Amino acid sequence: MYTTTMEQYILDTNLFFNMEPGLNMGKNTKEVLENITKAARIMKNQKKGEIYMPPRIVDEFLGFFDSQSLPTAKTFLEYVNIKSPTITNIQFPASTFYNIIDDIRQRSYRGLTIAEEELVGAVKNKTIPDPNNKKEFEIAVGKHTANLRARYRNATRTGFLDSLADLDVIVLAKELDGFLVSADEGVIEWGRKFGVHEIEAQVFGKKLLAFVREEQVS
């Protein structure tokens, strides 16, 4: 466990690109990054808080930028502590893993049910053309495929941890005894099940903007 008087915030990727439930620190990702970079610098200099991101989250984050906007992203990362969670030392209650297995089982069943429903719907559809007419066949089948993918994704991934990067932010928040900051429903929900501290993205954004405004006034 880390001992420090500074609050520690572990950030998720979606905060910078999902403007609706995000940090509310700008109208677009560029504005958000510029403001959070200022705030992170001030907060760190005043020893009032630090920002952390696991390497997998950093990789996801950087993947959203092209060569023109990449320098802005890298400037922000200068004020971020990049750290992997120490997974060999962190312990969680067994009940958490029972919840994970039960959730996976239920999601798998829902996914199978959806696939069966879409298959029945496709068979009942009398408008599917001859498979030998490749173009028309792909157009017709594509509608069913798209619907299946959307429903399956919603059933199996919404509200769940669907990547190791998601788990990284939760485990790192637990290790540092810091605050998990995310706009992802699944990360937030499972962060609570793992027993980590959290702060709403918009509340965290207000705290950061307060640092920026404080510097502007002074």
Give the residue ranges of DSSP H helices in 63-177.
70-77, 94-124, 134-157, 164-176
pLDDT tens track for 28-50:
888 889 999 999 999 999 999 99
User: Is the predicted pLDDT of residue 2 greater than 70, yes or no?
Assistant: no
pLDDT tens-digit readout, 133-182:
777 767 777 777 888 888 877 777 777 777 899 999 999 999 999 999 99
Bigger pLDDT: 180 vs 215: 180
What is the β-pairing status of strands 179-181 and 197-198?
Answer: parallel
**Would you say domain 7-90+164-217 falls under CATH 3.40.50.1010?**
yes
Predicted confidence (pLDDT) at residue 190 exceeds the cutoff of 60: yes
Q: Which residue has the higher pLDDT, 13 or 129?
A: 13
Amino acid at 86: T
The whole-number pLDDT of residue 1 equals 45
For 119, the 3-state DSSP assignment is helix
pLDDT tens-digit profile of 46-89?
Answer: 999 999 999 999 999 999 999 888 999 999 999 999 999 998 88
Q: Are 188 and 206 in contact (CB under 8 A)?
A: no
Token pair for residue 122?
A: 């496709």
What's the pLDDT tens digit per position in 88-116? 888 888 888 888 888 888 888 888 888 87
pTM for this prediction: 0.76
pLDDT value, residue 126: 59
**Residue 93 confidence (pLDDT):** 81
Which pLDDT does position 129 carry in this prediction?
A: 62
